[in-house]
Amino acid sequence: MSNIEFTRLHIGGEWVDALDGAEFETVNPATGEVITKVSEAKAADVDRAVKAAREAFENGPWSRMKPKERAAALWRLGDLLVADAEEMGRIETLDQGKPYLAAKNGDVPTAAGLFHYMSGYATKIEGETIPISAPGDYHTYTRREALGVVGLIVPWNFPLVITAWKVAPALAAGNTVVLKPAEATPLSALRLAHLALEAGIPPGVLNVVTGFGSGAGAALSVHPDVDKVSFTGSTATGRRILEAAGGNLKRVTLELGGKSANIIFPDADLEAAIAGSSDAIFYNAGQACAAGSRLYIHEDVYDEVVAGLVAKAQAITVGDGFDESSEIGPVASKEHFERVSNYLRIGAEEGTIATGGNRIGEKGYFLEPTIITGTSEDARVVKEEIFGPVVVATKFTTEAEVVQLANDSRYGLAAGVWTSNVATAHRVANKLRAGTVWVNAYGVFDPSMPFGGMKESGWGREMGHEVLHDYTDVKTVCVSIAE
Ligand code: NAD
């Protein structure tokens, strides 16, 4: 067992066992070995956490804190994360499998940046003064108010970063939080709760209930005293959450799956397009909701691009995240490894495996970066989200055709366009039904850029000032000032 400090539920500022004493194992996907046991929250524990969050919201110091004090606490949390990068990075790699250098130098500073960026909004949540047309004299204005207790449910692909996407704006807006990390990767959220206390975020403001989706997750989404749920995960689970949220009509944000199209036009800088398209799918072993998993290549450059991409895929070092030469790690769990492996078998039947397609080694959940060609557009590997290091490459001839192909998906999360023609870039970006379109780039994220899905990729946005709307409600105040 590895040395892990925080493994119990975090409720009302205390570290507590689950009421029934239940625990579950969290596993290192690079070795298949148990890292540690973590408390398993069920409905009664979630209820306890919601009560603590409610108390902190209604009566606790959080609601009485001045915006600038909230801002300072969030900024301090960002600083503490930066200072904690080695340990937080170690935990993230152990639990999730991603390369340690990526976790320490990428995920942890990114999460810190979220807290720094969002801390600024704590002092800038403003309403409007409205000159109404009703007869009489009225002074009318709006207030943007915190929603109350928000439930945050996150997946295992970027455990810390996606947690920060949600916790930072939720707290900046003055809400209190019950956070449920994914069962495969519970450790970084627990450590974050410890840092939050140290930063001066009062007890009860950020509660963490580790556990399973069917237990803690379901209890949180159905809880009548939770005002909002922000969820990131699969579209299937998103639907379940929506149903559960119907009971008290809680607000819901859904960041769901994707099958993002990445389009290479013949006038693109091909070297950049090949390198960018390789990162677009293989980064984080393809476990990125926005991964460029459908690659559309113009027929004039198709052979050259596929050959370039095959060479890139074959040059990637896949290995244990603690080995400094590893560029990508294993997929995050045994269950997910089996799911992606099944898609590799399906892909071999539906098309041709240009490279990859196999497991690497006997231990841990490592997969070869894989490129599939020669599929039809209704193939399962083209339609369904694989969420692994697997891209399907398809040839196109005209712009109209590729826009139609790209949009022919139930998802609409992200897209990429590679071209040197500025008019093509903007025209195609306008036509794509995707929440984010990158041009001559892929996978650029920033706390200031709204991110989220169209169609079945979800509702609402993370990051940017847009996200504040998802964590506040508008109150209209109309005051008679007639003499
Ligand atoms: P998942 O839906 O299985 O689980 C996500 C979270 O939901 C976990 O914490 C899980 O415990 C919880 N959960 C499961 N069932 C639940 C239920 N009935 N009620 C409440 N909570 C429940 O997804 P996953 O497999 O962990 O993550 C992969 C998926 O997440 C992919 O589809 C990916 O595209 C998506 N994703 C989307 C974004 C985005 O921003 N759009 C980002 C990352 C991942």
What is the pLDDT at residue 304?
Answer: 98
CATH code of domain 261-448: 3.40.309.10
Using the atom order of ligand 1, give the atom closest to the CA of residue 451: 40
Burial class from Cβ neighbours inside 10 Å (0-12, 13-18, 19+) for residue 478 reads exposed
C-beta 208 within 6 A of ligand 1 = no
Over residues 153-179, mean pLDDT:
98
Indicate if the pLDDT at residue 1 is higher than 70: no
Indicate if the pLDDT at residue 64 is higher than 90: no
**Residue 334 pLDDT class (50, 70, 90 cuts):** very high
CATH code of domain 9-256+457-476: 3.40.605.10
C-beta 233 within 6 A of ligand 1 = yes
Most distant pair of Cα atoms in the chain: their distance: 83
DSSP character at residue 23: E
Using the atom order of ligand 1, give the atom closest to the CA of residue 158: 43
User: Which of 166, 237, 239, 343 should be mutated for ligand 1, with most atoms under 8 A from CB?
Assistant: 237
What is the pLDDT at residue 152?
Answer: 99
C-beta 240 within 6 A of ligand 1 = yes
Segments of the chain assigned to CATH 3.40.605.10: 9-256+457-476
User: For the segment 216-255, what is each residue's pLDDT rounded down to a tens digit?
Assistant: 999 999 999 999 999 999 999 999 999 999 999 999 999 9
Closest C-alpha residue for ligand 1 atom 23: 233
Residues with a known catalytic role: 255
8 Å CB contact between 188 and 159? yes
Cross-strand pairs, 63: none
User: Which of 232, 331, 455 should be mutated for ligand 1, with most atoms under 8 A from CB?
Assistant: 232
C-beta 29 within 6 A of ligand 1 = no
The region of weakest confidence among 62-66, 119-123, 439-443 is 62-66
Using the atom order of ligand 1, give the atom closest to the CA of residue 257: 34
Euclidean distance between CA atoms 304 and 315, whole angstroms:
17
Of 127, 121, 190, 122, whose CA–CA distance to 154 is shortest?
190
User: For the segment 12-33, what is each residue's pLDDT rounded down to a tens digit?
Assistant: 999 999 999 999 999 999 999 9
Segments of the chain assigned to CATH 3.40.309.10: 261-448
**Residue 385 pLDDT class (50, 70, 90 cuts):** very high
What is the pLDDT at residue 228?
Answer: 98
User: For the segment 83-102, what is each residue's pLDDT rounded down to a tens digit?
Assistant: 999 999 999 999 999 999 99
**Residue 60 pLDDT class (50, 70, 90 cuts):** confident
What is the pLDDT at residue 63?
Answer: 79
Over residues 396-415, mean pLDDT:
98
Cα 90 to middle of ligand 1, angstroms: 23
Looking at 290-388, list the stretches that DSSP marks H as alpha helix, in order from N- to C-terminal side. Answer: 302-315, 334-350, 380-383
User: Any idea which residue has 């105040």 for tokens?
Assistant: 477
Closest C-alpha residue for ligand 1 atom 30: 233
C-beta 113 within 6 A of ligand 1 = no
Phi, psi of 362 (to 5 degrees): -110, -20
C-beta 186 within 6 A of ligand 1 = no
DSSP run (H or E) holding 352:
strand 352-355
How many Cα neighbours within 13 Å face the side chain of 272? 14
Cα 425 to middle of ligand 1, angstroms: 32
Residue 229, CA distances (Å) to 56, 175, 226, 471 in order: 18, 12, 7, 10
What is the pLDDT at residue 121?
Answer: 98
**Residue 339 pLDDT class (50, 70, 90 cuts):** very high
Using the atom order of ligand 1, give the atom closest to the CA of residue 236: 2
Closest C-alpha residue for ligand 1 atom 12: 213
C-beta 339 within 6 A of ligand 1 = no
Of 457, 377, 42, whose CA–CA distance to 209 is shortest?
42
What is the pLDDT at residue 284?
Answer: 96
User: Any idea which residue has 């995707």 for tokens?
Assistant: 434
Share of the chain above pLDDT 90, in %: 98
What is the pLDDT at residue 137?
Answer: 94
Over residues 281-310, mean pLDDT:
98
Euclidean distance between CA atoms 257 and 411, whole angstroms:
7
8 Å CB contact between 316 and 331? no
Mean pLDDT of all residues belonging to the chain: 97
User: For the segment 450-477, what is each residue's pLDDT rounded down to a tens digit?
Assistant: 999 999 999 999 999 999 999 999 999 9
